[in-house]
Amino acid sequence: MKMNKPEVVETDQIAKDTRSNEKGSAIVIALLVLALISVFVAFAMSRTAAEAAAVGNETSEARTMYAAQGGLETMTRNFNKIFEQALNPSQAELDRVIDPNIIPALSRAQGGSFDFVQELDQISDSSATVLSGGPYTGLYAIRDTWRLRSTATGDDGTQIRLTRNILNNRIPIFQFGVFYEDDLELFNGPTFGFGGRVHSNRHFFIHPSANGAYFDSRVTAAGHIVTQVKRNGDPVNATTAKTWVKDASGVYKQLLPDRGSVLNGSPNVFASAPFVDPQLPPSALNPSWASQSAIFDGNLQARVNQLKLPLKVGSNNDLIEMIRRGKEAPGAIGGDLYDNAGVLAPVAAGAGAGADNLILRAERFANKTGIRVSLADSKEKLPGCATGVGTAAVTAACGVRLDGDVVGLGANPNTADAVLNNRSRGYQPLPMSDGYQATRVNGERLNTGGTREVWIKIETVATNTATNALVTSDITRDILSLGMTEQAPASMGLTPYNNAVSSTSAITNAAPQAAPTGTDSRSIIKIQRFAIPGPSIPNYTAAGVHTFNAANSYNYVRRYTAAAGDYSTGCTAVCVADDIDLGSGFEKYGHLKLANTDEAVVPFPIKMFDTREGLYYDQKSTTYYSNANFDNFKKVPREGVMSMVDIDIANLRRFLRGDFNGLFSIATPFYTAAGHTLRNTDIPDKAGWVLYVSDRRGDADFDGEIDMEDIYGAAPGNDGIMQPGEDLDMPGLYGNGVLETGGYGTETERYAVNAVYVDEAAVIDQKYYRRGVRLINGSTLPGIYDSATAANTKGLTVASENGIYVQGNYNATGIGTVPASTNSTFDQYLPFNTPTHIPASVVADAVTILSNAWNDSESFRYPWDVGSRDATTTQTRFAMLAGDTITSAAATPNQGGGDARLNGGLHNFKRFLEDWGGRRLDYAGSLINLYNSRNNNGAFKCCGTVYSPPRRNWVFDSTFLDPGRMPPGTPYFQYVQTTGFERTTD
């Protein structure tokens, strides 16, 4: 909450002298009389001087009193400003609150006549409290009390001290069941009952079907409650739409469609301030709203105050900056690059030079305490790896190149190297001290040619509490020694390829050690694999170069077979001649392994096809997808081919609990700096860890968003004409007025241009900025839940500026009772109130749920057939903070399906890519929407080719009502309550 600025009181009250001059003069008066008069005059003069002194003292005290009050009000104003911008200000920021020289015109330093002593003390520990009164009534906050004291001393020695106490409240955003920064929409669909407090910082369009929507806590909107029309202009069926809201007594009361705060008609409230919006359907004020809303006893309100996060209070109003990479000026090592009006430039210190201000630095998830993972096309694009004016890169080790030579410092491999393995592209992770050796990165299939490279940097992140400066340590080589490869299935029977028969053999050294006993079993960050589980992906291109499916139902890349006789006699001239295949030259030198004793295979990038991002229209038809473009549906649009960074949560948990302590290499920059090998205790934590991942490979202009907003248009899409719902960029409500299409051919392609055969798409990286982060093996998270002492609880937040895909059970191993017609309660999610019940959140450009049955092969084999991508019941428990697309007025062309130009609404805020067929998605958490998606910005589509919905067994996780058990990095509203002041002498 932004407080009104108190005025500094400055008063110059001039005392009035009241001297009386008494004169007596009488020549004719006797000397005795003269003597008597002289005595009287002496007495009178003495009394007048005393009265004058008293009046002067009162005036001096009043002046000093006003000066002390001015000092106190100035401190209060500065305190509010500091705490609006930082939940945990540094000592330097707190010192600015008490600077006695910033009191205008009063302090001696500014030409005044008073000395000041300003004091600021925290007089209570932080504690949880329930707020009463004001806009946050009923919410829980973390509160601490501060004492402000201002002592003013005048030039005559008069001294006054005033004291004020301030209640500083921090309200976690996940205490809301639903919070939308923009319009909140809920329409059609099955019964929806989520729970928790609901708020929109704009308007709430609510129009459920006859199944009904149920709200059991306060529902508020800073704009209007709209009940008669959908946001795209489609009418609501007034006879079937059912909405229920509990009143203050806990009794459900019905909100009828003709009882919103606005109704269909005129004069249109959305045509004038403060809600000017030509995209909203015309609506008039409901004259009976006050009496109709009163039946809910204050639990249904429109036109309430907006709730503002620090970024909204500060200079940058685009909350998507929360998930962006930071922009830091060079420090002891190096700084960052940023997009300066289309040109990459090093960040420089100072205003207007690209560097983050205090608010941005504090609010970015990239800067939260924990681990940061960054991928980019060059070394200088990694955090802290650029310096100087120009583009000179830091000369010291800074991250690792994955598609260069084996050592990863940036050089290309030497194709004439005597050790033939060294001719291949790809970084070789360092061995661990117990003999564990992870698979080498297959840089041949990551490299996209030209000047682009593939770099990664992994850092610990913390904040200096005294200065709020970021403190990072490079742990790239340490973490990569755990591996970057998904462990091969045991049935593949991988063994080293050691069939050299002479020193001239193309393979004189084995590829990394055998799977599955040990190899890659520790990998946390995965970008490649040996096999794709699931049904066969057809071979439409060169067999043996792309995918092959064996009887054990694994898709893998087969380079040679026993029948060809290549590997059994040693890979000599035949292998060398076949070394140039689709950019994968010299692949076999360092990456070949034997599978099941008769096939030589190589690892390849992790890929999947996202139908929502890739398909223009929600219907498989040559009307929209011609055979000329998609070869009878053998090809897919590159827009939906996503290169994944898989995060193995189970292995992250092993690392953070110390399983690998004492096993890391000493040949790393971290060991050199720290004097010991990496340990779990070297990872900073603050009520747990934030794992931040940013993959900007293919992001040509390095701005963290895909430059393709042209999501509508006549078949086959991408017509180049700006339409409502397409322009996503700030600064306006509907963008910056420019349709972003500059990424065609660089960051992306049009839907029907340069499509790719599905088998090639599945195993070779592409140059485009189509990147995703996926969470796997996450049923149990790192951390601990201490049911007795909240302060001991540690949670996990995974954040990314890319889209995040949550695959399978996440932070839940099962669920108890599932009622037939209502939803499970939050305490039914297992485990509950045990050490492995972890506070968790997922923060991303968009969040897509993949069920326990998901496999990538089906996404490539059946991209046009949702009925062949079956989901199974899945349990998830996490707070979700993400973006959505923009609903606009219904128009043609649209995205297909039955909800033209809608963004899917609250019930589709979590995205889907499977045929759930009514099977359950069990979810406990909090749903927070703060921005529009800039990477996963494909239009909402249902239910022909993308997905069919689950049964939404969703519930607000009421454990988030305890502000001491929030997921790490949780955004907070700041609410400062100021008391009056009193004069003190202590």
Least confident among 153-167, 244-258, 494-508: 494-508
Averaged pLDDT for residues 324-328: 93
Asked whether the beta carbons of 847 and 840 are under 8 A apart, the reply is no
- Structure confidence at residue 913 (pLDDT): 98
Query: Please, what is the average pLDDT of the chain?
Result: 85
Query: Would you place residue 458 in the very low, low, confident or very high pLDDT band (cuts 50, 70, 90)?
Result: very high
User: CA distances (Å), 630 to each of 542, 708, 767, in order?
Assistant: 18, 21, 20
Structure-model confidence comparison of residues 767 and 241, the more confident one: 767
**What CA–CA distances, in Å, run from 348 to 330, 332, 334, 424, 486?**
7, 14, 11, 38, 40
Q: What is the predicted pLDDT for the residue at 457?
A: 98
DSSP secondary structure string, 640-653?
Answer: GEEEEEEEEHHHHH
pLDDT higher than threshold 70 for residue 56: no
The Cα–Cα gap between 829 and 850 comes to 19
pLDDT at position 197 over 90? yes
Report residue 268's pLDDT band, with 50, 70 and 90 as the boundaries.
Answer: very high
Decide: helix, strand or coil at residue 854: coil
3-state class percentages of the chain: helix first, strand second, coil last, to nearest 5: 20, 25, 55
Half-sphere exposure for 634 (CA within 13 Å, toward CB): 11
Is residue 46 exposed (0-12), middle (13-18) or buried (19+ Cβ within 10 Å)?
exposed
Q: How far apart are CA 412 and CA 415, in angstroms?
A: 9
Q: Please report which confidence band the pLDDT of residue 313 belongs to, taking 50, 70 and 90 as the band edges.
A: low
| Percentage of residues of the chain with pLDDT beyond 90 | 57
Cis peptide leading into residue 731 (ω within 30°): yes
Residue 585 pLDDT: 56
* Residues 690-705 pLDDT 10s: 999 999 999 999 999 9
Question: What b/e sequence results for 823-855 when a residue is b if at least 16 CB atoms lie within 10 Å of its CB, and e otherwise?
Answer: bbbbbbbbbbeeebbbbbbbbbbbbbbbbebbb
In this model, does residue 906 exceed pLDDT 60?
yes
For 445, the enclosing helix (H) or strand (E) is helix 443-446
In the chain, % of residues over pLDDT 70: 85
- Provide the pLDDT for residue 38: 44
Residue 506 banded pLDDT, cuts 50, 70, 90? very low
DSSP per residue over 5-27, as a string? Answer: PPPPP---PPPPP---------T
pLDDT of 573-587, one tens digit each?
444 444 444 344 577
Q: What is the largest CA-CA distance in the chain?
A: 151
pLDDT at residue 359, as a whole number: 84
For residue 499, the model assigns a pLDDT of 33
Q: In the predicted model, is pLDDT for residue 517 greater than 60? A: no
pLDDT of residue 717: 84
Query: Would the pLDDT of 482 be above 60?
Result: yes
Average pLDDT over residues 914-928: 97
Of residues 282 and 92, which shows the higher confidence score? 282
Burial class (CB in 10 A: 0-12, 13-18, 19+), 55: middle
CB 120, CB 97: distance < 8 Å: yes
pLDDT at 813 over 50: yes
Strand, coil or helix: what is 44? helix
783, 784, 841, 790: which is closest to 142 by C-alpha? 790
Listed residue (777, 739, 744) closest to 650, CA to CA = 777
- Mean pLDDT across 881-910: 91
Decide which of 597 and 781 is more confident.
781
- Residue 522 is predicted with a pLDDT of 95
Give dist(CA 506, CA 577) in Å, integer.
11
Closest CA to 865 of 542, 557, 547, 625: 625
Planar angle of CA 608, 613, 617, nearest 5 degrees? 125
**Kind plus residue range of the DSSP H or E element containing 595:** strand 593-595
Q: What does the pLDDT read at residue 189?
A: 78
pLDDT at position 549 is 62
- Select from 617, 816, 637 the least CA-distant residue to 713: 617
For the segment 538-573, what is each residue's pLDDT rounded down to a tens digit? 888 876 566 666 556 788 887 766 555 444 444 444
